[in-house]
Structure 1
Amino acid sequence: MTINSIELFTGAGGLAMGMQLAGCHHRALIEWDKDSCDTLRGNISSGYPPAHDWHVIQSDVRKINYSSLDFSVQLISGGPPCQPFSLGGKHQAYNDHRDMFPEAVRAVRELKPKAFVFENVKGLLRKSFSTYFNYILLQLTYPDVIRTESQTWFEHLAILEKLHTSGHYSGVKYNVVSRLLNAADYGVPQSRHRVVIVGFRENLGVEWSFPEGDYSREALLYKKYIIGEYWESHRVASNHRTTPTASELKKAQLFASKYADVKEAPKPWQTVRDAIGDLPDPQSKAALKIANHEFRPGARSYAGHTGSVLDEPSKTIKAGAHGVPGGENTVVLDDGSVRYYTVRESARIQTFPDDYLFFGSWTESMRQIGNAVPVRLAQMIGESVIKELRRVEK
């Protein structure tokens, strides 16, 4: 069964690649940003296998006429711009012109896919946004119930709430669930919390829940502080190994007692060292052979602005370069020095393959990577959704 899909707000292609690897056939990738489109098209023209037949539509999604598409769509995915809800933004939500959730709803309404997957920032769950988040979920549940020009979103919400509680609706309806996920629990070497919204058309009779991550912090603590395998495998000198806190040691010991059979145990969280440890120093000649692995000078560390440490998952890679508030785009090396992640290192932390290239300046590439969905997280969710669609089809 071919899963024809389209993706909205594609950016640099992290979600698109993950869904493609999961089994989607992207018929259209919609993105308005020129630099992001340059990256997408650059990988298409280079013949990168998962992207070789991607079709990029560089356009404002509000101008897309879905009725003109000459193919059916089984799945829609996308990451509506997160700035309206980001903890680092102005928190204007529905008052922000960049809120594109209404366009996500329009795509579902007009294309009526079997399923959809949307991703956004943790800030969407802030208490001040809770009513609007519920409104988003209800719009996706009943996409055909359109808000009129004379209605405020709050009046429209009241209509949807009454409809939802009545239990009487004969139109197209989606069963919608959402969950806050930490990418580290899915094998991404980064602590990155994101809200994922998944919906299935109700008439399919799908019973689905989010796949559980099979990586854990406790497993990493066990590998470090109980059996020492982590340090040995990376050949970390004893003076560079961290000492566990009492709480960490207790968690590691509890993990050891719980999983007598190691085969049943979760895998350890992936660390920065796991992700980039085999890359050459970006200031060395060997680095010249690695695409997107150029050194960037000027990194500093100060109170409230500290880099990621090598032997933990990275801090959340953010859509910025210089001046990222918490130093998220810098790394602390074994000798205590700090430097910026290279583009390739950041891409690895977002689980992009090494042969996927980023086009544009260092600052622009870092912005694209920071806005992306980790490829591995997207693939894990995509595989679970597509498996259910194929089961229903059979």
Structure 2
Amino acid sequence: MKAIELFAGAGGLGLGVGRAGFKAVDVVEWDRWCCDTLRENRARGSSIIRHWPEPREGDVRGFSFSAFEDKVDLVTGGPPCQPFSLGGRHRAHQDHRDMWSEAVRAVRETRPSAFIFENVKGLTRATFQTYFSYIYLQLSYPEITLRDGENWIDHRARLEQHHTSGGRSGLSYRVLPPKVLNAADYGVPQKRERVFFVGFRSDLGIEWSFPFETHSRDALLWDQYRAGDYWDRHSVSKKAKPVDRRGSQAASRIRERPEELPWRTTRDALLGLPDPELNPRGCAKFPDHRFQPGARSYPGHTGSPLDEPAKTLKAGVHGVPGGENMLRRPDGSVRYFTIRESARLQTFPDDFVFHGSWTETMRQLGNAVPVDLAEVVARSVREHLDIGLARTARA
């Protein structure tokens, strides 16, 4: 199955989609550092990306997708999230970086069987509720376009009238109510929440729901403080085991062993990587694994605990914030995550390298979708498309 990747960034969403069995036929990204990252990994033959086409570098508003009409099965992407980020200025549709209309245009021009778009949790805030529903309606009826001189509020009203009238003429999609997924609940060693918009072309008659969570905090607490398997797995002696009274108390209230797998922790993610501060010579065989000095801790800026999923890695408008991108050891000391460690937390493969300085690379990683989370969603979409398209072919 063929896919188009918009707003590709460093490739997290696209890698997951590729693992799910889709082949990228077009990749679009405006940032030169991200494009350099994609090009180098493509040239190196890294992972799925070696099969990607040369990325189209530039503003998506200047590209046409009409050549792919009825030739792709999936359109994916993460329109720039700064207009909606909790750490941004919250300007939404007033922000020139808002690219949702371009995502809708790509769907309109290509008519894919399905699409997957994702964004930050901040998009679901009450202050964006009206615009959130506008995105949903545009994706449902991409051929009902904004008229000359029409503002987005009036366009939304027209889309809503079409929706409530039950009109289904022209290109339309069954769009699931968008859902916020916590990456930790799907085996990613990071507490990262993203909202996903998933839709299937209406004529395919596909019924779909978001994949069930496979991992949980309760299962981790049981593993750590009831069964003790977690510490045995990491060869942590009873004497060296960190004291966490809150975790122990929470575990004592769990009556039965949870069915889910344990949340993956920072310690799980970094398994096999030498500490770059304590053992810099041992890091040479791991690309992008170098110590970054300058980390410090203060109230509200304490780093990610070793034995929990990491905090959400962030890009930062004015550089890396620090607290979210630091490791906090059991003794309370802190250091910055290396690029390789951050890539592990985002579930990029170890052979994947990044272009740019540490700050620039952390921006790429902070904006990325965890590869494993993207794969879970895309694989479920692929499975339903296989069934739906086969049924349509028989009809």
**TM surpasses 0.5:** yes
Q: Equivalent residue for 1:302?
A: 298
SS at match of 1:159: helix
Q: Match for residue 195 of structure 1? A: 195
1:213, 1:240 → 2: CA distance? 32
Equivalent residues of 2:320, 2:363 under 8 A apart: no
- C-alpha separation in 1, matches of 2:167 and 2:95: 33
- Match in the other structure for 1:137: 136
Name 1:175's counterpart in structure 2.
174
Deviation at 1:356, TM superposition (A): 0.9
Partner of 2:263: 269
Matching residue of 2:154: 155
* Post-superposition offset of 1:238: 3.5
Distance in 2 (CA, whole Å) between partners of 1:243 and 1:77 is 43
Could you tell me which residue of structure 1 aligns to residue 284 of structure 2? 288
How far does residue 11 in structure 1 lie from its aligned partner after superposition?
A: 0.3
Q: Distance in 2 between matches of 1:71 and 1:229?
A: 51
SS at match of 1:357: coil
Distance in 1 of aligned mates of 2:317 and 2:92: 24
Alignment partner, residue 330 of structure 1: 326
Amino acid corresponding to residue 376 of structure 1 in structure 2: D
Matched residue SS, 1:389: helix
Could you tell me how far 1:257 is from its partner in structure 2? 2.0
In the other structure, the counterpart of 1:262 is none
- TM-score in terms of structure 1 length: 0.94
* CA deviation vs aligned residue, 1:124-148 (integer Å, no higher than 9, x gap): 0010001100000000000000011
Distance 2:300 2:293 in 1: 20
Amino acid of the residue matched to residue 197 of structure 1? F
1:8 matched residue in structure 2? 6
CA RMSD of aligned residues (A): 1.7
Structure 1 runs not aligned, ≥5 long = 260-264
What is the percentage of aligned positions where both structures have the same residue?
A: 53
For 1:299 and 1:166, how far apart are their aligned partners in 2? 57
- Pairwise CA distance, 1:9: 0.1
Per the TM alignment, residue 320 of structure 1 is displaced from its structure 2 partner at its CA by: 3.9
**Residue 320 of structure 1 contacts residue 366 of structure 1 at CA under 8 Å; is this kept in 2?**
no
Deviations 1:240-296 (A, max 9, x none): 4344546x446534545265xxxxx21000000000032012132011221000110
Q: Identify the residue that residue 36 of structure 2 maps to in structure 1.
A: 38
The answer to whether the Cα contact below 8 Å between 1:240 and 1:334 also exists between their aligned partners in 2 is no
Rounded Cα–Cα distance in structure 1 between residues aligned with 2:385 and 2:85: 32
Q: Which runs of 5+ in 2 are unaligned?
A: 391-395
Alpha-carbon separation, structure 2, partners of 1:221 and 1:66: 48
Which residue does the alignment assign to 1:54?
52
1:330-367 CA distance string (max 9 Å, x none): 00123321100000000000000101111211111111
Shift of 1:81: 0.3
Which secondary structure state, in structure 2, belongs to the residue aligned with residue 257 of structure 1? coil
Higher mean alpha-carbon deviation, 24-33 vs 356-365, is at 356-365
Say if 2:319 and 2:359, in contact at 8 Å, map to a contact too: no
SS in structure 2 at match of 1:238:
coil
- 229-238 vs 293-302, which moves further: 229-238
Mapped pair 1:362 → 2:358: yes
Matches within 5 A, 1:109-148: 109-148=108-147
16-25 or 163-172, which deviates more = 163-172
